[in-house]
């Protein structure tokens, strides 16, 4: 059982919901990524998603696309992100999931990337553009390395495909609550509860709901329906606003702490 499974198991025992937070690695630089990761752990985040910057992030909206661009401009590479995870592991055991596009794994070497991720202290990988039907080698290598392959389910996913997707997943299922790309929204989707029920008909894995959650009130509302929530663009937007200022870590971690408190009140 890896850290993701342990964390969700502990949350279930306590009757609590989880908070999954996302940030782009290397935005504004990798030292900031390390410091933010440690701060997020301290204020109550349950899982950290690290986006490895990629030049063509088609599943991401403008906020996360710009984070990827800033990560590339700061010299961030997959190998450097792996080294940063090793540094995080010196001080924290927060579960870490890589949020990545398949091209980067292909370039690094699929087996080597998974092996190196496990050695660095990564717990799971979410590949945005790898269909489950084409993931047999990947899923097998992940399980052999003790990592959780995390897969996405969308509002438009039919039941037959939900069943196929969740059979390949471990750790948790990421339910994308909106069609389209990532980004902040003024209100949450209205069909979350019914979709979670549909997904749970095919799996006992925890379901983390993301795409569009922007503030503590939305976080609390969605956490009442799912097993966890995912907040990304709202965090990335604050990182962009703070940049390399001295207020970066305290400001953004305060926001993450407010999300964690809202989720734990459910």
- Give the bridge partners for 21, in sequence order: 48, 231
d(CA 150, CA 152): 7
* 35, two tokens: 């410091």
Chain Cα centroid distance, residue 253: 16
**8 A C-beta contact, residue 44 and residue 264:** yes
Distance CA(59)–CA(120), nearest Å, equals 26
Phi/psi at 209 (nearest 5 deg)?
-105, 125
Contact present, 89 and 121 (Cβ < 8 Å)? yes
Between strands 228-231 and 148-153, the pairing is unpaired
Residue 60 is among the residues annotated as catalytic for this protein: yes
CA-nearest of 16, 8, 60 to 173 is: 8
Indicate if 123 belongs to the active site: no
Crossing angle (nearest 10°) for helices 62-73 and 233-242: 50
Sign of CA dihedral 21, 23, 25, 27: negative
Token pair, residue 206, equals: 């925890």
Which of 5, 41, 46, 60 is labelled catalytic? 60
Instruction: Say which of 49, 123, 137, 179 is annotated catalytic.
Output: 49
Spatial contact of 78 and 108, defined as CB atoms under 8 Å apart: yes
Q: Where in the sequence numbering do the catalytic residues fall?
A: 49, 60
């Amino acid at each position: 059982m890896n850290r993701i499974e342990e964390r969700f198991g502990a949350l279930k025992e306590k009757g609590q919901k989880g908070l999954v937070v996302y940030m782009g690695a290397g935005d504004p630089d990798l030292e900031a990524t390390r410091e933010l990761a440690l701060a997020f752990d301290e204020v109550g985040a349950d899982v950290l998603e690290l986006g490895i910057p990629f030049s063509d992030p088609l599943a991401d909206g403008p906020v996360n696309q710009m984070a990827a661009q800033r990560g590339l401009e700061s010299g961030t590479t997959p190998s450097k992100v792996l080294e940063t995870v090793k540094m995080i592991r010196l001080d924290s055991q927060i579960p870490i999931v890589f949020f990545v596009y398949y091209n980067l794994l292909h370039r690094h070497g699929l087996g080597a990337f998974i092996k190196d991720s496990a050695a660095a202290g990564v717990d799971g990988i979410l590949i945005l553009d790898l269909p489950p039907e084409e993931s047999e080698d990947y899923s097998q290598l992940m399980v052999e390395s003790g990592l959780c392959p995390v897969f996405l389910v969308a509002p438009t996913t039919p039941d037959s495909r939900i069943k196929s997707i969740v059979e390949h997943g471990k750790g948790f299922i990421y339910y994308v609550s909106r069609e389209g790309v990532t980004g902040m929204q003024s209100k949450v989707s209205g069909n979350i509860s019914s979709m979670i029920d549909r997904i749970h008909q095919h799996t006992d894995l925890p379901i983390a709901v993301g795409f569009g959650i922007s503030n503590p009130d939305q976080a609390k509302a969605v956490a009442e329906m799912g097993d966890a929530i995912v907040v990304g663009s709202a965090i990335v937007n604050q990182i962009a606003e703070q940049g390399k200022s001295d207020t970066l870590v305290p400001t953004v971690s305060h926001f993450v702490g407010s999300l964690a408190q809202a989720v734990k009140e459910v």
